[in-house]
Structure 1
Amino acid sequence: MASPLQTHPRLRSALHQLQGVPPWALLSLVMNGLLFITIVVMLRQLGQGGDAVLSQANAFAADPYVPVAPFEPSLGPRHNLDYEQWVALLAAEAEAVVAIDAPRQNILLGDSLTLWFPANMLPGRKTWINQAISGESSGGLRDRLYLLDQTDPEALFIMVGINDLIWGGSEADLVYNVRRMINYLRQTHPQARVVVQSILPHGGEAATWEGRDRLLTIPPDQIRTVNSQLKAVAIETGVDFLDLYPLFVNGDGYLRADLTTDGLHLNQNGYMVWRTALALINETEFQP
C-alpha cells in the first residue's frame, strides 16, 4: 500500500531515483528524521523554560492548544484493583464508548507506560481510550482484546513487552502474542489502523525503580533484537510500526535520564517525545 509520504510529488521523484530500496525502509528513514528534528526542537524549548503548549485530548475541542499542567502520574483508586477488577473496569469503559458512539476513537493498549500517559498531552480532536493495565504482559493483553469487539476504532496503538522481559518470558512468545493481537484486531476491526510501537530502553545501572535488579538482567541488545522482530511482524502483516526506541536511548543503549522518573517509567519530557511521535504518525493518512 502506498503511503501519503510515498505519493507526494517530490518524494515520488526521489523514490524513482532510489529504485531497489524497499519503500518501507525509505518511509522509516523519513519518519525517523522528522521525529528527531521535531523532538529536538521541542526539548530545546523546554530547556529554555518556555511554556509547553500541546493539543488537548478531548475530541473536537474548540481550541486545540492548551497549556500542559505539571506531570503527576497517578492511578487513583485503580491502585486498589486486582487484575480481574481492572479488566472489568476497562470492559465498562469500552461499553460506555460504544453507548455514546464516541467519534474518532483511538485506543491505547499496553502496560503502565501507556497507562500513565497524561490525557491532556495526547493529540487533540480525537477520542482517546486508554485500555492499559499496570504490569500487563503480552499474553494478558492478547486475551482481553475481545473487550473492544463492539468499539469502532479509528486506530489502535500497541506497546507491550517490557514486562515479559522483566519476568523472564521468552522473546518468541512475546513476538507470537503480538502477531496474534495484530491478526485479531485486523479481523475484528478491518477498517482500523493498527500501530505496533517498539519497546523502550530501560535505565540500567542508573535506574531507581523498585525492580531494578530485574531490569539489569535485560541487556540493551535484547530489546533491540525484540524490536527488530516486532518490526518484521508489522511489515509482514501490513500494519504500522512506530519505532520510538531511537528517540529514548542514550549512547550506551539505555533510557535517557532526562526522559524518565525511575529508569523505567517516563516523566513529562518523555511523554512529550512520545506525544510528538503519535501526532506525527496521526498526520499521515491510512489506506486499509
Structure 2
Amino acid sequence: MSHYSLLALSLLAQGTATDLGDGLLTVLPMDEFVPPVSDASSDLSLARIVEEVLDTLPTVDDFQPQFSQSNQVAQLSLDRPANLLPVMPQPATSAAAVEWRPVSGKQLYQQRLAALKEGKIYTRLSVNSFADRWTKAIEQPTHQQWQWLLELEAKAIASGQGKNRLNVLVGDSLSVWFPHDQLPPGKLWLNQSVSGEATRHILQRLHFFNSTQPDRIFVLAGINDLRQGVSNQVIIQNWRTMVETLRHKHPNSEIILQSLLPTRLEAIGNQRIRYLNGHLAAIAHQEGATYLDLYSQFTDDQGNLDRNLTTDGIHLSRQGYSIWQQALHEYENPQLLDRGYHAIEIEGAIRG
C-alpha cells in the first residue's frame, strides 16, 4: 500500500474516540505535502522567501546532541489509566539503541516528514522509525521548511485527536531535541519547537496549533533572546503576550511556563537568568498559568549548568534530558511530586 493510500485511512470516520497507539492519523490533503520552495533557481531567492515569514531570521543551530553512552536514562515505573493511549514501549538502554536515532536537524526533519507521509506522528513511534529515509539525509532544511513541518503536524493532530488527551511542547532547540521516547505516556504529544528561535519568532507561529485541544501546553523559551542581545524588558513582555495569546486561543488548557535553564557560557550570566525566571514566575501567577522551576534541578555547586547535564554549555546531554523527563513525569503524576518543581517564592525569585 502506498504512502498516500495509508493517509486515506481516517480514524474519525466513526466519530468515536480513537486509539492512536500506532501513531496513525487521519487523512490530509495531498497538496499539504508540497514543501516550501528551497531551490536557489526559483523566481524568489531563498532569502526573500524566508523574509516573508519573519522580519529577521533567527540563527538556526544544527545542533547534534552528543549522548554519552555512560549516561543511563531514568527508568520510571508509573501507574497510568489504561482507558486512553497504550503506554509506549520502554526505551532500550544499550549503547546501540541510544545511538540509533536522528542526531542532526536534517535527519530529524526527514524522520518527522516520513511519519506524516505515512499518516503517523513521530512522537508515537520508536526513535529509529523510518531509518531508511533519514540515515542518508543530505539537504539541510530551511527555517521556513521547519515551520511548515510544524504547521502540518499540528493540522494532522487537530484532525486525528478525537477524544485523546494532548500535550504540546513549545520552544527552541532544547525542546526540539527532547527524546520523544522519554515523554510521559498516556497522551498524544505535539512538539511545536524550532531550533534557534527567540520569543518573538515563537509568538509569530503560535497560531499553528489553534485548532488543537491540548490539556497542557509546556513552554520553554528565551535562551536565544539572551544569545541575540534582546533586552530583559522585551523578553518579559513577549512572555506575557505569549501567555495571553495561548489563554485566548486555548481557554481550557493549562499553560506551564518552564524556567530558563542555567548555562556554562560566560556570555549568558546565570544571575540574569535567575532574575528573568523570577519575572516569569510572576507572569505565571498573574496570568493564571503554572511556573515549573527546572533551573534549580540543573545547577552545580557554583550555580552553573552542571557539566554532566550538557554537551556544550547550553544544550542538554542525555543525562540532562533525564532530569527534565523526571520533572515532566512528576508534574503529570502529582502523586509522585516530592521535589517541588513548580513551587517557588515569587518575590524572592525576582530579587534573584
Q: Deviations over 1:164-201 (max 9, x none)?
A: 00110011111111111111111111111100000001
Residue 217 of structure 1, CA deviation? 2.0
Q: In structure 2, what is the equivalent of residue 70 of structure 1?
A: 98
Q: Supply the AA of the counterpart residue of 1:60.
A: L
Q: How does 1:89-168 map to 2 (within 5 A)?
A: 89-101=149-161, 103-168=164-229
Q: In structure 2, what is the equivalent of residue 88 of structure 1?
A: 148
Is 1:226 the equivalent of 2:276? Answer: yes
Task: Give the direction of change, closer, same or farther, for the CA distance of 1:55–1:146 in structure 2 (3 Å limit).
Answer: farther
Flag the structure with higher helix content: 1
Q: Percent identity?
A: 36
CA–CA separation in structure 2 for the residues paired with 1:153 and 1:283: 17
Q: Supply the AA of the counterpart residue of 2:241.
A: R
Residue 70 of structure 1, CA deviation? 1.4
Q: In the alignment, which of 238, 248, 251 is matched to residue 187 of structure 1? A: 248
TM-score (normalised: structure 2): 0.60
Task: Give the direction of change, closer, same or farther, for the CA distance of 1:120–1:62 in structure 2 (3 Å limit).
Answer: closer
Task: Give the direction of change, closer, same or farther, for the CA distance of 1:201–1:62 in structure 2 (3 Å limit).
Answer: closer
Q: In structure 2, what is the equivalent of residue 240 of structure 1?
A: 290
The gaps in structure 1 that reach 5 residues or longer are 1-45, 205-215
Task: Give the direction of change, closer, same or farther, for the CA distance of 1:119–1:158 in structure 2 (3 Å limit).
Answer: same
What secondary structure is seen at the aligned counterpart in 1 of 2:146?
Answer: helix
Q: In structure 1, what is the equivalent of residue 322 of structure 2?
A: 272
TM-score (normalised: structure 1): 0.73
The gaps in structure 2 that reach 5 residues or longer are 1-68, 79-83, 110-138, 336-352
Asked whether the 8 Å contact 1:110–1:141 carries over to 2, the reply is yes
Q: Deviations over 1:205-252 (max 9, x none)?
A: xxxxxxxxxxx2221111110111101111111110001000001122
Is 1:281 the equivalent of 2:303? Answer: no
Q: In structure 1, what is the equivalent of residue 20 of structure 2?
A: none
CA–CA separation in structure 1 for the residues paired with 2:76 and 2:153: 25
CA–CA separation in structure 2 for the residues paired with 1:267 and 1:50: 11
Q: Deviations over 1:76-117 (max 9, x none)?
A: 163722222211111111001011125211100000000000
Q: In structure 2, what is the equivalent of residue 15 of structure 1?
A: none
Asked whether the 8 Å contact 1:122–1:275 carries over to 2, the reply is yes
Aligned-residue Cα RMSD (Å) equals 2.4
Q: Supply the AA of the counterpart residue of 1:80.
A: Q
What secondary structure is seen at the aligned counterpart in 2 of 1:120?
Answer: helix
Q: Supply the AA of the counterpart residue of 1:153.
A: P
Higher CA-based Rg: 2
What secondary structure is seen at the aligned counterpart in 2 of 1:123?
Answer: coil
What secondary structure is seen at the aligned counterpart in 2 of 1:235?
Answer: helix
Asked whether the 8 Å contact 1:110–1:160 carries over to 2, the reply is yes
Task: Give the direction of change, closer, same or farther, for the CA distance of 1:118–1:233 in structure 2 (3 Å limit).
Answer: same
Aligned residues: 226
